[in-house]
Chains A and B, each alone.
Chain A
Amino acid sequence: MKILVCIKQVPDMASRFKVNGDGTWYDETDLAFRMNEYDEYAVEQAVQLKEQQGSTPDITVLSIGPDRVGEMIKKAMAMGCDRGVHIQDKDSFRKDPWQIASAIAGFARDKKFDLIFFGMQSQDRGSGQVGAMVAEILGIACATTVVGFAFADGVVTAKRELEGGIRAVVKLKLPALITCQLGLNTPRYPTLPNIMKAKKKELLALPIADFLKEKELVATASAYPPAKKGTGLVLEGDVNDMVGKLVGILKEKTKVVK
């Protein structure tokens, strides 16, 4: 059995974000990066499946991005993935979901993966499209927002989270792709021996140009923080003075009083 897990590196969400120079994304300066939370569920599920299957599945973990993503791929290998693929792209943040999905599908097309795991969305872009697009391009079954997973006799049984607190169980024949949602599992943190063992695992670096042939379909026009709501102003003192002040403010700041 061959498994592919696709992961993305995102900033620590507790960071203070600033918009970048051309106003289309956040400024990466001094941000700490880590594995996208939903992708951790994906890695964990793949590794759990490998453990249940008596170690026969071979797990490839893939990420697209600049040099810094190497550290995160190593973490996924320390969690239990067998090999890493780093598709190098310094400008991955400029690619739209269609381009990212096309590149991943370009890599995966002839590799005959039986199962592909994604996080259900990234914490920074949040399009939630890439996993589903990859399944579409490869022409394989897909279930999104999965919170329960079982595999037996070549069939995936996935529990999906729907709106309104409803769950649905779907069954998928292999090959299949699922996107993982919060609640699916509790990701492990790698043990020290596994961190050291991961150092010896294969980590392939391949240029994005080898896999990306598509033009973008969606362009980001601008990124900006929402306008801050003004803070309240408390007037104090004598009532007559306060009325005077209030009228002054209304005249100055609004068109209510002329």
Chain B
Amino acid sequence: MTARLFKGAEYLVTEVTKDDVFTPEDFTDEQRQIGETTTQFVLNEVAPHHEEMENHNFDVVVQLMKRCGELGLLMIDTPEKYGGLDLDKATSMLVAEKIAPAGSFSVTYSAHTGIGTLPLVYYGTMEQKEKYLSKIISGEWVAAYCLTEPDSGSDALGAKATAVLSADKKYYLLNGTKQFITNGAFATLYTIFAKVDKEHFTAFLVERNTEGLSVGAEEKKLGIRGTSTTQIILENAKVPVENLLGKIGKGHKIAFNVLNIGRFKLGAGVTGAAKHSLGDAIKYAVERKQFGVPIASFGAIKEKIADMTAEIYAAESLVYRLAGMIDNKLATIAQDTPNYYETYQKGIEEYAIECAIAKVFCSEVLADVVDEVVQIYGGYGFVQGYPAERYYRDERINRIFEGTNEINRLLIPGTILARAMKDELPLKSEAKKAFKELTSSSSEGSKAAGPFAAEKTLLANLKKIFLVLTWGSVKKHMTGIKNEQEILMAVAEIAINTFAIESAVLRAEKIMPGLSKAKKESVSAAVKVFTFNAAEQTATAARKAAYFIEKGGSLAELLSGIGRFTTYDATGLLQAKRQLADAAIEAEKYIF
């Protein structure tokens, strides 16, 4: 385990080294075995039922959840005291990644183990945990989380559902409609958010057979058709007072904190889905012959394979680095700490920015990947019966749920600025230094030495660009910056790509000594290919932000600085792409 503890977003104002990052290569034998059990389960037990699930045979889904319970896949994040395993987040993410090839079923699984189970684990009383947790971790009961309403999605606190204490003070009577509830049709325990006395946002544990609770019709969806998505309708639903979760008026904490883990876990899941679909596309490209040769031998296809491999490598590096950061933080909290889960929540919340980054970055990697996977399949990618079409449809929801990518992007600079205002991050002082450098026409910025010097130079400079633009926009708009969403979106892009490049580079540097010559070449190639693409995107975002913020001479100065500070020497890019593609084509799968 790495030991240096980072503050959230601290990476933007400090230099992180290879010894500070956790990588997939650091997994223990036990973690790898847990990953293998998950893979075997998906391959042998889930995959054969795929069609049935897509056709809404939810009995199969419920049976498979029980099987997950037998294998222990539902107890990873639950405390040992209640029969769980209480494993670290890295393990939890690895399982999320390995279960992803199960498609729709992985969404059922994630909703159950994440937003379905964690509110109870974090905020439940001992009585509530004793009553429900054993049923949830055995798969006997399936859990669902009901926050969204027909008129409130991103604006979760705008919920209209109400809870009123009954005259005999034994029940809360819940009224309202919850929308897009994953596992809605077959869940047996719902965590439902409603406002007590139309004012105090509060969570409740509501059993399926509660009088007044009914399940709406199945939504007809673009993708993940093997999941159940329904409304949950509450008409004077009688919820016993002892099923109130946490405190009255504190529902927003529950709602938002579990989303941090949910976002991060989604990052791991989509990375697994990306690996899986890339593997299929490579196999297809090797088999499919045009002009008498496999299409995998064409440069046009090879470049796609190289780009996808490099992007997934970055996503994977990012997700497990974040797992390590959170695990390090959580490991500092003693189990017997009073208010253990409150401290634990704060530990996770520290990395709300990185969790949002993981969600946005990894889901967009998957989006790029499935798009190119369809392209590689050509006409066969556009028809059912080949898997590409389903990967393409199933992907789309990931950029919408667990907080849209827009909400998550806005959250990145928003949270960074809020922390800077509270002096938790030295944004202002660092930005001033960076501004001097960036606007000095002779400065090329930082110069790193040693392995991956070109990438590290770029990283140090991208951080400066982020600081200058973010601080510049605050200076200009003051508190009104929160209404300048276009600027916030652009600077978020810089923060996201910087974290991704850094994760890719540091992982490479850390694992390099233990690799074979061929693997070394592949890792270096992946870093080069990814860094080049990400640097170009970041430069565009930075220039856009500059145009949004400045004009005249200041703009010219800024643009010139951005030009110098986003320069990345990608000499050998073509060879790197071909090398990476050839390695992936030989292995016929994602190679790292």
Contact = CB atoms under 8 A, between A and B. Distances in A.
Interface of A: 16, 29-30, 70-71, 74-75, 78, 189-196, 198-199
A192 B518 contact: no
User: Which of B32, B37, B87, B587 is most buried by chain A, counting CB atoms within 10 A of its CB?
Assistant: B37
Interface residues of B, number: 22
A30 B519 contact: yes
B521 to A, nearest CB: 11
B37 A192 contact: yes
Contacts of A74: 29-30, 33
Contacts of B518: 29-30
Contacts of A199: 30
A194 B76 CA distance: 13
Contacts of B40: 189
Contact of A191 (B36, B71, B87, B516): B71
Nearest to A27: B516
A74 B40 CA distance: 17
A192 B29 contact: no
B33 A78 contact: yes
Interface in B72-94: 72-73, 75-76, 85, 87
Contacts of A189: 36-37, 40-41, 71
Interface of B: 29-30, 32-34, 36-37, 40-41, 70-73, 75-76, 85, 87, 516, 518-519, 586-587
B133 to A, nearest CB: 15
Contacts of B36: 75, 189
Contacts of A194: 72
Contacts of A196: 30, 85, 87
Contacts of A195: 30, 33-34, 37, 72
B85 A193 contact: yes
A192 B519 contact: no
B85 to A, nearest CB: 6
Contacts of A198: 30
Residue from A16, A30, A75, A198 having most chain B Cβ neighbours under 10 A: A30
A192 B516 contact: no
A30 B515 CA distance: 8
A70 B586 CA distance: 28
A205 to B, nearest CB: 14
B55 to A, nearest CB: 27
A217 B519 CA distance: 37
Contacts of B34: 192, 195
A193 B72 contact: yes
15 contacts: A29-B516, A29-B518, A30-B516, A70-B29, A74-B33, A190-B37, A191-B70, A192-B72, A192-B75, A193-B85, A194-B72, A195-B34, A196-B87, A198-B30, A199-B30
Contacts of B586: 16
A16 B587 CA distance: 8
Contact of B85 (A29, A70, A78, A192): A192
Given A29-B516, A30-B518, A191 B29 contact: no
B516 A75 contact: no
A192 B41 contact: no
A193 B71 CA distance: 8
Nearest to B45: A189
Given A29-B518, A75-B36, 17 more contacts: A16-B586, A16-B587, A30-B516, A71-B32, A71-B33, A74-B30, A78-B33, A189-B37, A189-B71, A191-B72, A192-B72, A192-B76, A192-B87, A194-B72, A195-B30, A196-B85, A199-B30
A198 B33 CA distance: 11
* Residue from B29, B32, B516, B519 whose CB has the most chain A CB atoms within 10 Å: B29
A189 B32 CA distance: 13
Q: Across chains A and B, which 10 residue pairs bring their CB atoms closest together, nearest first? A: A192-B72, A71-B29, A189-B40, A191-B72, A189-B37, A29-B516, A193-B72, A191-B71, A195-B33, A30-B516
B563 to A, nearest CB: 40
Given A29-B516, A30-B518, A30-B519, A192 B73 contact: yes
Nearest to A78: B33
B358 to A, nearest CB: 24
Contacts of B41: 189
B481 to A, nearest CB: 46
Contacts of B71: 189, 191-192
A138 to B, nearest CB: 31
B443 to A, nearest CB: 43
Contacts of A71: 29, 32-33
B39 to A, nearest CB: 9
A43 to B, nearest CB: 14
A57 B581 CA distance: 51
A65 B70 CA distance: 33
A110 to B, nearest CB: 30
A192 B91 CA distance: 11
A101 B32 CA distance: 30
Contacts of A191: 37, 70-72
A29 B519 CA distance: 10
A64 B344 CA distance: 44
A225 to B, nearest CB: 15
A106 B548 CA distance: 78
